[in-house]
Amino acid sequence: MDERTSATPPAIAEQGGIGQYKGRDLDPARRPGVPRLHAPERLQGARWPIERQRSDVTVFMHGRPHKTFPPVFGTAEPPHGISGLIRRAAYAYPDHAMRHWSLLLFADRVDAWGYRARRLLPWLAPVVALGALAYGAASRVGPWRGRWTGSRAARFARRAAFD
Amino acid sequence: MRALTYEGPYRVGVKDKPDPRIEHPQDAILRVTCAAICGSDLHLLHGLVPDTRIGSTFGHEIVGVVEEVGPEANGIRPGDRLLVPFNIACGACWFCERGLTACCENSNPSSDVACGVFGYSHTTGGYDGGQAEYVRVPFAAVGPERIPDDVDDLDAVTLTDALPTGYQGAEMCDLHGGETVVVFGAGPVGLFAMKSAWLMGAGRVIAVDRVGYRLDFARRWAGAETLDFDTVDVVTAVKDATGGRGADASIDAVGCEAAGSPMQRAVGVLGKAVAGSSVALNWCFHVTRKGGTVSVLGVYGPPFNLVDFGTAMNKCQTIRTGQCSVKRYLPRLLEHVREGRLDPKALITHRYPLEQAPHAYHQFAQKRDGCIKAVLLPHGATLH
């Protein structure tokens, strides 16, 4: 035990109270969350019935029965691409199906890989093009002429591509 | 507008995005003056929350000034200074009427496990968060609270999530005076839970963490005894300190990124094969006495965890959990703040402009530079 302090800090002790257990909210009646469910009372500013939000954005609802689409929802990042298709499949299942969550996590990974690939593409495309040109040139002229084109790997690649 | 955007696990950036607009008659648009980074934002950052889409904007601890109001958001006006609870609650459904705004059933189509939450993946409704210049606030006349003139933005921003959550954690321990409470995690929520436990009459408060400066802060600010789990066996130490019986109650203020078990870290946090690590929760079961209470505030993702549930069952423990229904706590906690019993902005150690958000996340996630709580100020210095 590094250090011991067992007295209620003075700022939050009950005024005029003595003893170390006299916290200001010791009485449960002073605690806002007691009882956990209180008698029903609509919050100030609430309106009923709630008008339905209209949106052209694709928003998935999970596959739980006995639930209607809520009147208000977020439209932050619409689904797209392959990750969007996986998410669509995931939302066919309800919350209590493990598949629902596993597919969503997989879709997140696919989304991230896609994003990285899109970011790398402007850098990667010229590098790949230059590499292909260099390979083509080196296989036709210079001291390495024919060295790679006649290799077992190159023959295998040609067969795979054209045969 | 400029906004923080998610770019995949461990990466965020700041980019241009379209300005938010009124999408429902009860919406408002807020000019964000202060947005805090929450410990649970790190779960998003690390890719542990399902359906966190690339391009999302995080941020559910928001303070701002009303810019535009929808036709049915009666009761608020442009220019009002609001603090926004992280739950998006309609105020009229079965749960909202009974005080559980964290369970509102009218704001999240994507899941039954939570209501809508700002900037917290599509699992909680797909709303953009407030770590941006502007944010759309649904049901703006219901959840958000006008900030009194004598309360500044930094105090107010803690009232949107961290402080009420910590308070609810202590409340769920059902303290009657004199109990020993162990709090796992000396981050902002854990520190508020420690102070709140004192408020409710705890006899001893023990903080568990491994970050030295946070344990120092817990001793100085929250008057807690401290345990560093890198240097002692936590369960043995708590049992030693309580005559072998264990603590009366424990609070998990860590969640799914807990350190302390290499196996749980490898499988849950790094491999993401299960919903993070449940080490703190398992330690809660072990340090709490038979018949005691375990209060869980730490965020866990919906898929399964490697939880030692047999221990909890056999020890006849009461487990209480829940996202905080912030709205119902605001009047009482505002009173505590205004009368000086709680000084929440003491936890805010770092302030950054929005453009430095990636750096802020890095400092906060890596526990660098004595960082306890970091806030972003999208419009420079606060307006009030």
> Residue A73 is nearest to which of B94, B126, B222, comparing CB atoms?
B126
> pLDDT in tens for each of the 384 residues of chain B?
999 999 999 999 999 999 999 999 999 999 999 999 999 999 999 998 999 999 999 999 999 999 999 999 988 999 999 999 999 999 999 999 999 999 999 999 998 889 999 999 999 999 999 999 999 999 999 999 999 999 999 999 999 999 999 999 999 999 999 999 999 999 999 999 999 999 999 999 999 999 999 999 999 999 999 999 999 999 999 999 999 999 999 999 998 888 888 888 888 888 877 778 899 999 999 999 999 999 999 998 777 888 999 999 999 999 999 999 999 999 999 999 999 999 999 999 999 999 999 999 999 999 999 999 999 999 986 443
pLDDT value, residue A136: 77
Tell me the count of A-B CB pairs closer than 8 A.
250
Q: Using a CB-CB distance cutoff of 8 angstroms, which residues of chain B are in contact with residue A7? A: 223
Token pair 């906004």 is found at B3
**Structure token pair of residue A60:** 């998935």
Q: Using a CB-CB distance cutoff of 8 angstroms, which residues of chain B are in contact with residue A101? A: 50, 275, 301-303
pLDDT value, residue B170: 97
- Confidence band for A156, pLDDT divided at 50, 70 and 90: confident
- Confidence band for A127, pLDDT divided at 50, 70 and 90: confident
- Check CB contact under 8 Å for B303 and A101: yes
Q: Which residue has the higher pLDDT, A139 or A112?
A: A112
- Check CB contact under 8 Å for B100 and A20: no
pLDDT value, residue B192: 97
Q: What's B81-114 look like in SS3?
A: EEEECCEECCCCCHHHHCCCHHHCCCCCCCCCCC
* Cβ–Cβ < 8 Å for B107, B23: no
User: B47 to chain A, minimum CA–CA distance in Å?
Assistant: 8
Distance of CA B223 to the CA centre of its chain: 21
User: A123 to chain B, minimum CA–CA distance in Å?
Assistant: 18
Per-residue pLDDT tens digits for A40-58: 999 999 999 999 999 999 9
> Residue B26 is nearest to which of A6, A47, A107, comparing CB atoms?
A47
Q: Using a CB-CB distance cutoff of 8 angstroms, which residues of chain B are in contact with residue A117? A: none
pLDDT value, residue B38: 96
- Check CB contact under 8 Å for A72 and B90: yes
Q: Using a CB-CB distance cutoff of 8 angstroms, which residues of chain A are in contact with residue B222? A: 9
Cα–Cα–Cα angle for B72, B109, B121, nearest 5°? 100
Q: Where are the beta strands (DSSP E) in B93-239?
A: 116-117, 134-137, 145-146, 180-184, 204-209, 225-228
> Residue A21 is nearest to which of B56, B108, B201, comparing CB atoms?
B201
Q: Which residue of B has its CA nearest to A43?
A: B91
pLDDT value, residue A2: 47
* Cβ–Cβ < 8 Å for B254, B278: no
* Cβ–Cβ < 8 Å for B27, B118: no
pLDDT value, residue B220: 94
Q: Which amino acid is at B136?
A: R
* Cβ–Cβ < 8 Å for B118, B130: yes
Cα–Cα dist B225/B380, whole Å: 38
Give the helix/strand (H/E) hosting A100. Answer: helix A98-140
Q: Which residue has the higher pLDDT, A1 or B266?
A: B266
pTM of the model: 0.90
- Check CB contact under 8 Å for B92 and A43: yes
* Cβ–Cβ < 8 Å for B28, B73: yes
How distant, in Å, are the alpha carbons of B38, B138, B206 from that of B259? 18, 36, 18
pLDDT value, residue B383: 41
The residue among B84, B122, B167 with the most chain A CBs within 10 A of its CB, best to mutate, is: B122
Binding-face residues of B in 88-117 toward A, CB within 8 A: 88-92, 94, 96-101, 105-113, 116
Scored b (16 or more CB within 10 A) or e, B280-312 reads bbbbbbbbbbeebbbbbbbbbbbbebbebeeeb
Cα–Cα dist B76/B89, whole Å: 16
Binding-face residues of B in 334-353 toward A, CB within 8 A: 336, 340-343
User: A110 to chain B, minimum CA–CA distance in Å?
Assistant: 10
Q: Is the pLDDT of residue A163 over 70?
A: no
Binding-face residues of B in 33-72 toward A, CB within 8 A: 47, 50-57, 72
Cα–Cα dist B264/B254, whole Å: 14
User: A103 to chain B, minimum CA–CA distance in Å?
Assistant: 9
Angle at which helices B326-338 and B162-171 cross, to 10°: 100
| Contact with chain B for residue A12, Cβ under 8 A | yes
Counting runs of H as helices and runs of E as strands, what totals does chain B give?
12, 17
Q: Using a CB-CB distance cutoff of 8 angstroms, which residues of chain B are in contact with residue A118? A: none
Per-residue pLDDT tens digits for A5-31: 556 677 776 654 445 567 889 999 999
pLDDT value, residue A88: 96
User: B339 to chain A, minimum CA–CA distance in Å?
Assistant: 9
